[in-house]
Structure 1
Amino acid sequence: MNEMPPLRTTNFCDACSIRNRAICADLDNDEIGLLNGIGRRRRVSAGEQILWEGDEAILVANVIEGVLKLSTQTAEGKEQILGLVYPSDFLGRPFGQTTPYGVEALTDAHICVFERKDFDRFAREHPRLEHKLLERTLGELDRTRRWMLLLGRMNAEEKVASFLLEMGERLGTKTADGAIVIALPLSRQQMADVLGLTIETVSRQLTRLKKDGAIELPSRREVVLIDTGALEARAG
């Protein structure tokens, strides 16, 4: 199947659902117009590879919709997941020559793509964007450290509880009674792959959390966080 080329539009920044949370949030209308001129929207399918570790850094992107994974290859040739990215997160390496990690869409996704050289030039000419990039880079470093702790030192209960708390923070909707509803973008098998567990272990941990009253499971693709305090205690 031939991939449709990304489309350039004249007003996608104005209608962008993550504009107030993305790296371009501090730009004024004139700057947004200039950034709009070098960006393109692109839809990608679940399982599609967007960036390859070690390749020339040609593109950078804002995530508008969907969840993607960052990964690297170990010396043994195995995949090591470095983390997940969500709407408003930034992908790629500005001012870099090579891509430091692979990026694959875990769900259907919508991204705003920039040629890296064009984006680098724009960032140098607009210090507010450079400052935002620095903030994002430091935040990404913190998230990577937490992720490596999750994968390397936590047990299954701690992993699942931490994962649900992160999903609630990034994708959840709070109800009037304080519960947090998450429309899960991942299947149980994808959750297991991301956390380095088996699907049976993930299912067992979710069932235990439900039995203890910390969560509800209305369907296989929906989780309601009832007691975030209990989840935080289980996450260690």
Structure 2
Amino acid sequence: MLIDSELLLQYGAETTTVNAAETIFSEGEKPRFYYQIMNGRIKLNHYDEDGKELIQSVLSAGQSVCELLLFIEEKYPVNAETLSTCEIIKITKDKFFELLAKHPDVSLDINKFLSERLYQKFVMMQNNISLQPEVRIVGMLNYFKSYTKNTEKYSFEVYLTRKQMASITGLRIETVIRTIKKMEKEGIVKLINSKIFY
């Protein structure tokens, strides 16, 4: 967990359960809460002018949701939608800053976390301009695996569908499927019952 849930509750946080395929916040809304996922998965997405979904990220238990926008006066550039039933703890923006002011160690942890996320995002974005599908997919897998802190080969079970992987990398689903099979032959990933391990 990025911030201990007991500490969040001490500052007035509330725990709520959100069903799958529901919206937590929408693009264009003003950030008013700090959200942390206790259980479940959330996708951050955007729809282009043709209605095509572009997935920016997929978040899971222990992670926070767009917390960096609490530090600036900007609206959400993405939607946060649940991929599964989620248990979420949320705290108002003012209580969140009160917590940070009284717990500088937590503030440092958040700064470190944000720095790591930005670094990995920049690397993934650089990979996404490659014309080689394998480079894009490996960049994406490295990004999501970096959350686990586990560097062992095949230790990360990829929870994304082929369609979600295509949306994140800007590739066609067919290209993702073909490239994953090629990566398995090369020993980059392992497939077990259609699940990808990286």
Larger radius of gyration: 1
Question: What runs of 5+ residues in structure 2 fail to find an aligned partner?
Answer: none
1:42 is aligned to 2:16:
yes
When residues 143 and 77 of structure 1 are mapped into structure 2, their CA distance, relative to the original with a 3 A threshold, is farther
Q: Where in structure 2 are the equivalents of 1:217-232 lying within 5 Å?
A: 217-220=191-194, 222-225=195-198
When residues 119 and 168 of structure 1 are mapped into structure 2, their CA distance, relative to the original with a 3 A threshold, is closer
Question: What runs of 5+ residues in structure 1 fail to find an aligned partner?
Answer: 1-17, 25-31, 226-236
When residues 33 and 179 of structure 1 are mapped into structure 2, their CA distance, relative to the original with a 3 A threshold, is closer
TM-score (norm 1): 0.67
1:134 is aligned to 2:90:
no
CA contact 1:94–1:120 (8 Å) conserved in 2: no
TM-score (norm 2): 0.77
Matched AA of 2:57: G
1:63 is aligned to 2:20:
no
Q: Where in structure 2 are the equivalents of 1:1-150 lying within 5 Å?
A: 18=1, 22-24=2-4, 33-37=6-10, 38-72=12-46, 80-91=54-65, 92=67, 93-102=69-78, 103-150=80-127
Work out the CA distance in 2 between the residues paired with 1:183 and 1:144. Answer: 20
Aligned length: 194
User: What is the aligned-residue RMSD (CA, Å)?
Assistant: 3.0
Matched AA of 1:36: L
- Structure 2 residue aligned with 1:206: 180
Q: Percent identical across equivalent pairs?
A: 22
Work out the CA distance in 2 between the residues paired with 1:142 and 1:172. Answer: 14
1:165 is aligned to 2:142:
yes
